[in-house]
Chains A and B, each alone.
Chain A
Amino acid sequence: METNACPKTWMVESILVTIFCCLPFGIAGIVYAAKVSSLYASGKIEEAEAASKNAGKWTKIGFIVGLIVIVVYTIINISAVTALMNA
């Protein structure tokens, strides 16, 4: 079945990832996210879908990397605090 609806832009998600998780991957997400709607507006629906997929991919990568960084940072902090308390 062929649908002509505009594919998901991932704009909000990629901006949130840029601000809170991982800036470089978030920017890549924003770049693709911004292309989705303008490609769709110029009738290039397949390219818009490809851009949407790329935006989703980079947003997810950024989210996971950001999550890992935050978790690792928290673990290091906790272990440092416990080490200081033990000393």
Chain B
Amino acid sequence: MQYAPTDSHPKARFYYFFKEKLQITNETFIFTQANRIFKNITMEYYISRNDRKEGPFTLDELPEKRIVPDTLIWAVGYKEWKQAKDVPELESILYSTPPDIPVQKPMPKTWLVESILVTLFCCLPFGIVGIINAVKVDTLYYGGFYEESLYRSKQAKKWILWGVIAAAGCVALYFFFLLFLFLFESNSYI
């Protein structure tokens, strides 16, 4: 070649040194350049699944690999593994099938009416605790705190139950007292 550097030329030594070190041929060099130019067509992706690397796959092969939004993806030029949802060119693959329908959890029972009735007719202190818990159920539910809402609902139910038990206990004690009084008085007359 007319313009090829002679072996004695400093540039030539530099050239051969790198050619030998990196073990690249002119063909692979051209191929990687082309790869960079037509990145979107020839880009190859690796998938990390169950701590194992799979790939390389082309963009056309990826739909068969059952990628979900948090599957880890790597391709040339990435500093680190990325989640599939952060890779813009995978959007069409990720969101080509409809996602799971979000499950709407119904609001837990508030027990408000029951706790007010318990406050009025059974046991005031336990009823008040029931009301305080009951009122929080719906505001927490609509505020997006489902777990806390469920907890308050259970607490309200528990205190209502204790209120009813306390009232029933009081009534039972009262009737036992009356019964004993009656028996005692009827004995004393004999």
Residue A23 at the chain B interface, CB threshold 8 Å: yes
Per the bound structure, the CA–CA distance linking A44 and B139 in Å amounts to 10
Total interface residues on B, CB under 8 Å, equals: 18
Please tell me if the beta carbons of B131 and A35 are within 8 angstroms of each other in the complex. no
Also in contact, A35 and B124, with CB within 8 A (given A41-B145, A42-B143): no
Per the bound structure, the CA–CA distance linking A43 and B16 in Å amounts to 68
Contact pattern, B 122-143, Cβ under 8 Å of A = 1, otherwise 0: 0010001001111110011011
Residue B119 at the chain A interface, CB threshold 8 Å: yes
Residue B120 at the chain A interface, CB threshold 8 Å: yes
Please tell me if the beta carbons of A31 and B143 are within 8 angstroms of each other in the complex. no
List the interface of chain A (C-beta within 8 A of B): 11, 15, 18-19, 23, 27, 30-31, 33-35, 37-39, 41-44
A19, A33, A42: the one contacting B145 at CB < 8 Å is A42
Given A34-B133, A42-B142, A42-B144, 11 more A-B residue pairs with CB atoms under 8 Å apart are: A15-B128, A19-B124, A23-B119, A31-B135, A33-B132, A34-B136, A35-B139, A37-B136, A38-B136, A42-B143, A42-B145
Please tell me if the beta carbons of B124 and A18 are within 8 angstroms of each other in the complex. yes
List the interface of chain B (C-beta within 8 A of A): 112, 116, 119-120, 124, 128, 131-136, 139-140, 142-145
5 tightest Cβ-Cβ pairs between the two chains A and B:
A42-B143, A34-B135, A38-B139, A38-B136, A34-B132
Per the bound structure, the CA–CA distance linking A46 and B142 in Å amounts to 15
Smallest CB-CB separation from A26: which chain B residue?
Answer: B128
Contacts of A23 in B (CB 8 A): 119-120, 124
Contacts of A30 in B (CB 8 A): 128, 131-132, 135
19 A-B interface contacts by CB (under 8 A)? A11-B132, A15-B128, A18-B124, A23-B124, A27-B116, A30-B128, A30-B132, A31-B131, A31-B135, A33-B132, A34-B131, A37-B136, A38-B139, A38-B143, A39-B143, A42-B139, A42-B142, A42-B143, A44-B139
